[in-house]
Amino acid sequence: MNPHADAGATRTGTTLGRYRLLDRLGAGGMGEVWRAHDANLDRDVAIKLLAPGAVADATTTERFRREALALSRLSHPGVATIFDFDAQDGTAFLVMELVSGGSLEARLTDGPLPIVEIAQLGAAIADAIAEAHQRGILHRDLKPANIVLTPAGQPKILDFGIARLLGNAESAKLTQTGMLIGSLPYMAPEQLTGDTDDARTDIYALGVMLFEMTTGRRPFVKERPEALMFEIFGNAAPAVRSLRAETPPALDRLIDDCLAKDPARRPASASDVAATLRSLGSGTTSGPVAIPVHDAIRAIAVLPLRNVSGDPTQEYFADGLTEAIISDLSRIKALRVISRTSAMQYKGSTKTLPEIARELNVDAVLEGSAHLVGERVRVSVQLIAARSDETLWADRYDRQLDDVLTLQSDVAETVAREVAVQLTPEEAGHLAQRQVVNPEAHLEVLKARHSMFAGTKDALEVALRHARRALDLAPDYPVAWAALADCQIVRVMRGMAPPAEAGAEAWSAATRARELDPALADAWSSLGIIASYQRDVPGGLELLTRAVELNPGLAFAHAMRGIALIALGRTEEAVASSQRAIALDPLSSIIRTGLGDALYYAREFQQSVFHYTMAIELDPRFDGAHTDLARSLEALGRFEEARTAYETGRRLAGGIAGPTFGLAHLEAAAGNTIEARRILAELTAARGSRVVSAWGIAALHASLGDVDEAFAWLETAIAENASGLMWLRMHPRLDPIRNDPRYWPMVVRVGLDDGGEGA
């Protein structure tokens, strides 16, 4: 049905002011476009009838009018000019220059353009963008459908600034609903999260168009909007030259620059882009703008070494050696090394190395094989540049098993030299260490960690046996103590062991590991995790900070450090630490959820929704991501979506109380207090038969406005040492009791006060 039919405005011959509608040219998310005749000036114009609600009241209408006036003063041959703005019978409309000719979108249906034409069209589009930017006007919705080619071949940009006029409505709609909008493929990563955009957002969209003009396809192609959003935000675009070999290197690099995830790494201005394209069009190899060389390797992935022994029982050795090389490389601060969790997802993958590198957003890949023969180790490795798929270095090692740590260090040291990374004296000293290990104990540690990563209850029991066997063989082997600590921590975090018992052994083992090797980052990380969950958040933060100083590549330590920081109210640092964890472990649903949590507690609910959605995209079975998504949707007042997410989380969680608490909070927020209290009573009664957190009951009382009951249950939570208390300072659900005089003294009691009051 026509959305404007009731107003009677969208019939041929209808008059709006001095404009008579002639024929409809098209329709989109912002409204309909008509060709119309201006009776006063005797000329045809284009009229955009804005979608209902775009200018909902007098204040919005006046703001829209002022913005339209500013845009009308933008005069450039590459921009379709806005002439007028008005409203009639409830229908708001813009009057614009009518541009005859087909769109760039239609032109691209025939495939990629000649390089010379790309340079000419791209430079002209960039010139028009630059003129608008100099006047403080952004487009925010650049795409081939908004570029019209005149009969003379001159591009003209349509709808300049309309996204701003409408309050960036399309972007807002995208992040609120996750629905596919026509311009999603051209949106920059920062637009997806609702971050502040600027001129570099338009430069990103220009880069997408240049990519499409050169290759005939978009850089990211997915059917589902969630999958497309994940690629735009996290994956590197394929190299243009991998799709069109004759592409000039300078154009390839320019497009790569425009598509940088970090806006600061994109070209500084559209004028710079235009100058570079113009130099290509003239046949020169250089222009007034220097193109940054991106052959430097700043990020690397170590793929799982192949087990070439023919013996499936040796998988633990190949996997363990992979993890060890990752660990050694990750200590190099100048190099971002993808963590084991993400790298191991490519075990046995048939994807090409450039595909893997693009998905992990790295510059190079280390791959190879491992073979254990008796007490001799044979390892072959090669380092491959991601963009060119060229081998940078290859070597083979044949060592005794008791010299395996030296082998690992040699590989890491050679990789650092080959990628021209500057090592600090401390890093060089670590890699130069020559350590001899008890071969049998080392193999037991590898078996322990291999089983631990399986994550099941039985596998963790096996892992514990191997760790303890390693310590029987080598009581002073720090890595074995660290493995024992990690096994117990995983058991506690997955609810497989009593926290008091397993946590105590984890603390003791990690402490012993640190005593034996003060530079062992894993030991510091384990101690920090334990301390944070045992209500010493400041102490845990200090330990975790030391861990990432010793090994900047410990993704989980960065993630846990982010949790400790947000619990203390240090939101900006928390988000930065969580983002670093994602850069190191981009395929971890748990770590992506951690960033969502940091944003939720910082009350950036809209941004948290995006990251929870991305976590679900990575692993739809992770109940925590669904439940936390529901919590943010609830905070935004999107109750029906929240209810669906809570129900999904409850089904996947298998009976734990968290999602049920969430549903009760949702009912309270939606005004259904009777149902909320029914659930509260049910959960309270269940404490006699199963684990139901006193912290959760306290928070639900707070949501219902039961101030005294909330504080009484918080006292119970303190007595029970409930882990949820680490959120006492920051949880939005405690806002109803935050101004009570009992609140801040309690924050101090549980060690979450950093000298200030307020989140």
Q: Residue 95: name the closest of 29, 39, 28, 172 by CA.
A: 39
Q: Residue 653: name the closest of 642, 645, 643 by CA.
A: 645
- Tokens 């200030």 sit at which residue? 756
For 743, residues 6+ apart whose C-beta sits below 8 A from its C-beta are 734, 737
Q: Are 108 and 212 in contact (CB under 8 A)?
A: yes
Q: Pick the catalytic residue: 141, 256, 319, 363?
A: 141
- Fill in the amino acid letter for 55: V
Backbone angles phi, psi at 12, to 5 degrees: -55, 135
Q: Are 395 and 381 in contact (CB under 8 A)?
A: yes
Q: Provide the terminal-to-terminal Cα distance of the chain, rounded to the nearest Å.
A: 48
CA distance linking residue 217 with residue 109, whole number of Å? 10
* Two tokens, residue 655: 């009976």
Burial of 126 (0-12, 13-18, 19+ CB in 10 A): buried
Q: Are 192 and 610 in contact (CB under 8 A)?
A: yes
For the residues of 344-412, what is the DSSP string, one character each? GGGTT--S-HHHHHHHHT-SEEEEEEEEEETTEEEEEEEEEETTT--EEEEEEEEEEGGGHHHHHHHHH
- Tokens 């596919």 sit at which residue? 180
* Two tokens, residue 19: 């404009």
Beta bridge partners of 33: 26, 48
Q: Are 105 and 144 in contact (CB under 8 A)?
A: yes
Q: Residue 333: name the closest of 429, 423, 201, 451 by CA.
A: 423
Q: Are 384 and 392 in contact (CB under 8 A)?
A: yes
Gyration radius of the chain over CA positions: 30
H or E, element range at 495: none
Distances (CA, A) of 615 to 94, 213, 502, 611: 40, 32, 29, 6
For 72, residues 6+ apart whose C-beta sits below 8 A from its C-beta are 81, 82, 83, 84
Q: Is 402 marked active-site?
A: no
* Two tokens, residue 63: 């703001």
Catalytic residues: 141
